[in-house]
């Protein structure tokens, strides 16, 4: 089967060759993508960068070391939302964060692969509600500069407001998202309060190739590893383990299939439904 953009065709062979080459070079696994969806995204990517073929695209990836980042901006599927999976946030509050409210214990957090920031703002709301934000430091990192800019701005399309408000109420009844938005009115967007991220440092970071230099109490890496092959997942889990303080918490996403080898890296299950693990 071929797909055409004007006179450009993306054959099955080209598709498989490209994804295999990217996996070998960058450890990014596209097997989670539905083939038709991946074709559409690649077709759009060719158009965005004015490229005439998959071969030209691959040559650009080879020759321009930094091009993999804007390429992934175009090709990635975003799986993020404010208070996505309300059961996680309830479990996190009850099983992890209440300890920090009792002991006034400093808290360090890493949002690894933070995408457009909804998870970071969700955590900011939770920290404010528990009155522990002032004693918290967080780092939010992503491979995409485009996503980081959106996250830092905290501006989201007005069409998402109802969904995000619903998610917030599923986590905590009788909460209104208006409480956490700036008063000024934007034409088609709403802006979350800057105070929600006053504890956050933003950094560009490649999970696979960049070093880990800090230690954390909690690491979020939700629905990011779906793009990585098994070897990259194992490598990343070992890095997370080494980046956690004793008894530290790792939170992964619903779609991150890592359970077959998580026990071999000395993590215990704290909440299986919410994919919360604790460093042994």
- Would you list the domain boundaries of the chain? 2-75, 86-279
Split at pLDDT 50, 70, 90, the class of 191 is very high
* Mean pLDDT on 190-194: 96
- Decide if pLDDT at 31 tops 80: no
Domain 86-279 = CATH 3.30.420.40? no
- Decide if pLDDT at 69 tops 90: no
Residue pair 109/136 in contact (Cβ under 8 Å)? The answer is yes
Q: Indicate the average pLDDT of the chain.
A: 88
% of the chain exceeding 70 in pLDDT: 91
Bridge partners for 278 per DSSP: 249, 268
Non-local (6+) Cβ contacts of 147 within 8 A are: 73, 114, 115, 116, 117
**CB burial string 142-177: b at 16+ within 10 A, e below:** bbbeebbebbbebbbeeeebeebbebbeebeeebeb
Weakest mean pLDDT among 100-104, 105-109, 214-218:
100-104
Split at pLDDT 50, 70, 90, the class of 1 is very low
Determine the topology of domain 2-75 in CATH.
Chemotaxis Receptor Methyltransferase Cher; domain 1 (1.10.155)
pTM: predicted TM-score of the whole model, two decimal places: 0.81
Weakest mean pLDDT among 102-116, 137-151, 249-263:
249-263
Task: Kindly write down the DSSP assignment for every residue of 44-66, as one continuous string.
Answer: HHHHHTT--SHHHHHHHHHH-GG
Q: What would the two tokens of residue 178 be? A: 């208006």
């Amino acid at each position: 089967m071929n797909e055409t953009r004007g006179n450009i065709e993306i054959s099955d062979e080209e598709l498989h060759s490209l994804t295999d080459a990217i996996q070998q070079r960058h450890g990014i696994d596209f097997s989670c993508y539905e083939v038709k969806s991946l074709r559409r995204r690649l077709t759009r990517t060719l158009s965005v960068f004015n490229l005439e073929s998959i071969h030209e695209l691959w040559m650009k990836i080879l020759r321009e070391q930094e091009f993999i980042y804007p390429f992934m901006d175009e090709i990635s599927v975003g799986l993020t939302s404010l208070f996505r999976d309300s059961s996680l946030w309830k479990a996190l509050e009850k099983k992890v964060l209440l300890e920090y409210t009792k002991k006034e214990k400093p808290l360090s957090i890493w949002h690894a692969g933070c995408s457009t920031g909804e998870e970071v703002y969700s955590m900011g709301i939770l920290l404010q509600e528990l009155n522990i934000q002032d004693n918290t430091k967080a780092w939010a990192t992503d491979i995409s500069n485009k996503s980081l800019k959106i996250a830092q701005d905290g501006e989201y399309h007005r069409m998402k407001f109802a969904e995000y408000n619903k998610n917030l109420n599923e986590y905590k009844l009788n909460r209104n998202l208006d409480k956490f938005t700036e008063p000024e009115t934007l034409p088609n967007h709403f802006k979350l309060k800057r105070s929600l991220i006053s504890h956050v440092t933003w950094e560009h970071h490649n999970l696979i190739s960049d070093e880990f230099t800090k230690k954390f109490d909690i690491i979020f890496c939700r629905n990011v590893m779906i793009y990585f092959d098994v070897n990259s997942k194992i490598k990343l889990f070992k890095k997370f383990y080494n980046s956690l303080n004793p008894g530290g918490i790792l939170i992964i996403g619903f779609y991150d299939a890592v359970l077959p080898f998580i026990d071999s890296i000395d993590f215990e299950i704290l909440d299986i439904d919410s994919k919360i693990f604790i460093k042994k």
